[in-house]
């Protein structure tokens, strides 16, 4: 992998994480639209937006070539299911006052992603990274026992997005970012349609019923959904899964600040203890990078005998 390819992958991935970090504020602006309706519109509008991108970039031949390969279609269907679970869980957490718990899920996710890289892709990690994984596992236990509540939102986000990243890594360069998201959205269209029918019969559809600004914001959900996913897909194809996990700390930091400082969500002592343990794991993880890089440079500077 060339240096330029690796650099562009890092930039794409950072861009995706920055946008995801700001998404809670965007979705809170969609109130009174509920989480189920929002996700349904996300699916449908993402598909429309990707169709436009395929037309502009003349990407339809590439999409047709992918459709002719059943194995790739299976991977995109699995990716679609995983990202739907992630979207729905994230919206439920955001719109029910659990933004801090969603940030916990994305704090834990990088370490889970590294574990997937180790056990599935056979990537090697070092002793300090194993220590960080053990500390993060301890943090989850502390939150469950001391706080008295199982963090199902956090752990569902961790598992769904971690495995989604693994699936995108397995697909690799065989499926470009736009075609991949188009197919992932396509598989979810029946779920979105059924969801909107149920919402219409219960709470009622809010699109077009609140204000012109609200309608515009809901309509923009497709773009807000597609752009970071396209950046993420482009980034994961260019860099190691372990590095993808490391960069993801950008998103939960932003989400934690939004939930605690801007939205005023409660942070009792038990939750602070759990988060502090998670942050210690992250510090151990990050501290390993310069140590390893320094040793690598020192080894490279030694002339072979």
Write the pLDDT tens digit of every residue in 102-135.
998 888 887 788 788 888 888 777 788 788 888 8
Q: Which helix (H) or strand (E) holds 171?
A: helix 152-171
Encode 169-202: b = buried (16+ Cβ within 10 Å), e = exposed.
bebeeebbbbbbbbbbbbbbeebbeebbeebeee
Indicate whether 292 pLDDT > 50. Answer: yes
CB 259, CB 99: distance < 8 Å: yes
**pTM across the whole model:** 0.84
Contacts of 245 (CB under 8 A, 6+ apart): 109, 110, 111, 112, 113, 114, 117, 165
Mean pLDDT, rounded, of the chain: 86
What share of the chain in percent tops pLDDT 70? 91
Using CA atoms, how far apart are residues 3 and 214, in angstroms rounded to an integer? 43
What is the pLDDT, as a whole number, of residue 295? 61
CB 88, CB 36: distance < 8 Å: yes
What is the pLDDT, as a whole number, of residue 305? 45
Burial zone of 212 (CB within 10 Å; 0-12 exposed, 13-18 middle, 19+ buried): exposed
Neighbours of 71 (CB within 10 A): 8
Indicate whether 57 pLDDT > 70. Answer: yes
Burial zone of 61 (CB within 10 Å; 0-12 exposed, 13-18 middle, 19+ buried): exposed
Classify 302 as helix, strand or coil: coil
Which pLDDT band, with edges at 50, 70 and 90, does 10 fall under?
A: confident
């Amino acid at each position: 992998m060339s240096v330029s390819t690796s650099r562009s992958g890092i930039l794409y991935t950072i861009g995706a994480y920055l946008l995801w970090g700001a998404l809670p504020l965007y979705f809170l602006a969609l109130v009174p639209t509920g989480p189920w309706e929002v996700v349904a519109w996300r699916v449908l509008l993402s598909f429309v937006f990707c169709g436009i991108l395929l037309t502009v970039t003349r990407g339809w031949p590439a999409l047709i070539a992918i459709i002719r390969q059943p194995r790739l279609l299976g991977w995109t269907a699995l990716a679609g299911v995983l990202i739907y679970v992630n979207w729905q869980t994230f919206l439920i957490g955001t719109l029910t006052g659990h933004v801090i718990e969603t940030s916990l899920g994305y704090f834990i996710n990088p370490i889970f992603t590294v574990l997937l890289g180790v056990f599935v892709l056979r990537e090697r990690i070092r002793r300090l990274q194993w220590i960080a994984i053990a500390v993060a596992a301890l943090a989850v236990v502390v939150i469950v026992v001391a706080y008295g509540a199982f963090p199902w939102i956090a752990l569902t986000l961790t598992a769904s997005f971690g495995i989604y990243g693994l699936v995108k890594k397995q697909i690799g360069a065989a499926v470009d970012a736009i075609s991949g998201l188009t197919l992932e959205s396509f598989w979810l269209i029946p779920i979105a349609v059924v969801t909107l029918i149920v919402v219409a019969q219960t709470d009622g559809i809010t699109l077009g019923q609140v204000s012109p600004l609200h309608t515009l914001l809901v309509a923009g959900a497709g773009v807000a959904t597609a752009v970071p996913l396209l950046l993420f897909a482009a980034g994961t194809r260019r860099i190691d899964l372990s590095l993808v996990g490391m960069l993801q700390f950008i998103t939960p930091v932003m989400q934690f600040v939004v939930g605690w400082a801007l939205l005023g969500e409660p942070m009792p002592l038990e939750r602070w203890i759990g988060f502090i343990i998670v942050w210690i794991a992250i510090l151990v993880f990050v501290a390993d990078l310069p140590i390893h890089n320094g040793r690598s440079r020192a080894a490279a500077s030694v002339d072979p005998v």
